[in-house]
Amino acid sequence: MKAIIIGAGRGRRLMPTTAESPKCLAEVAGRSILDWALDAFTQNNLAPICFIGGYQIEKVRAAHPELRFYHNSGWENNNILASLLCAEPEMDGAFLCCYSDILFTPEVVARALASPADVALVVDTDWRARYAHRTQHPTSDAEKVTASDGAITRIHRDVEETAAKGEYTGIGRFSAAGARLLREHYHRCRSLYSGRPFREAPIFEKAFLIQLFQEMIEKGVHLAPVETPGGYMEIDTQQDFELARRFWN
């Protein structure tokens, strides 16, 4: 199974760390954020590993020439969903994808790979503990998930904290059939909404990945939660970066 890392954005909330370099190259505990992801993938025998870049992609190429690269040339004007589909040629079979600004352990990847579901999203059930010190990133910003009988029923920032099963980590695994469903729903929605509002996005091109996931759920696609009690951190703000440097090892 291959891995796809979505890393085109600049990460403006991580300034000044991202002033001259992509967020994924910021160092935590002696490694870049990207190095931590690559190690987790390598320990689980994922190959090839693809990287979707935009902002300063040449620096990621120089640091990791072994990766398979896709360039999101419109990164300043689109969002995570459109960015992921820049690597659509890699989606003929099974794949695992993740955001580039997260830290996670090899065990988290193993949990995702062990799921029998066609579409499986890793959900941190210990997510509230991580927000204790995140004053710059409130829980209202979390991509929260509700679930029932082994299926995700909603994935949205507006999910009430008390109702949330956990927070979507940005890690998703797709079987070949799941990859086909993802592509089919993406192209269906693009044909209907390109240049127009899509769910909460002002235009389809600026949609988040979770907005397509919710669309799929409402069309009857089974998305399974893969629970992990921690083993994950998001680095969205400079404060998050400092917390990761204190607590991640």
- Lowest mean pLDDT, pick from 21-30, 117-126, 215-224: 21-30
pLDDT at 103: 98
CB 228 within 8 A of CB 120: no
Q: Is the pLDDT of residue 11 over 90?
A: no
> By three-state DSSP, how is residue 158 classified?
coil
> Is the bond preceding residue 48 a cis peptide, omega within 30 degrees?
yes
Q: Is the dihedral of CA 170, 173, 177, 180 positive or negative?
A: positive
CATH fold label, 2-247: Spore Coat Polysaccharide Biosynthesis Protein SpsA; Chain A (3.90.550)
Report the residue count for the chain. Answer: 249
pTM to 2 decimal places: 0.96
Indicate the average pLDDT of the chain: 96
The string of pLDDT tens digits covering residues 51-62 is 999 999 999 999
Q: How many CB atoms sit inside 10 A of residue 34's CB?
A: 23
Q: Is the pLDDT of residue 107 over 80?
A: yes
DSSP assignment letter at 198 = B
The string of pLDDT tens digits covering residues 159-183 is 999 999 999 999 999 999 999 999 9
Q: How many CB atoms sit inside 10 A of residue 243's CB?
A: 20
* 74/61 Cα distance (integer angstroms): 18
pLDDT at 211: 98
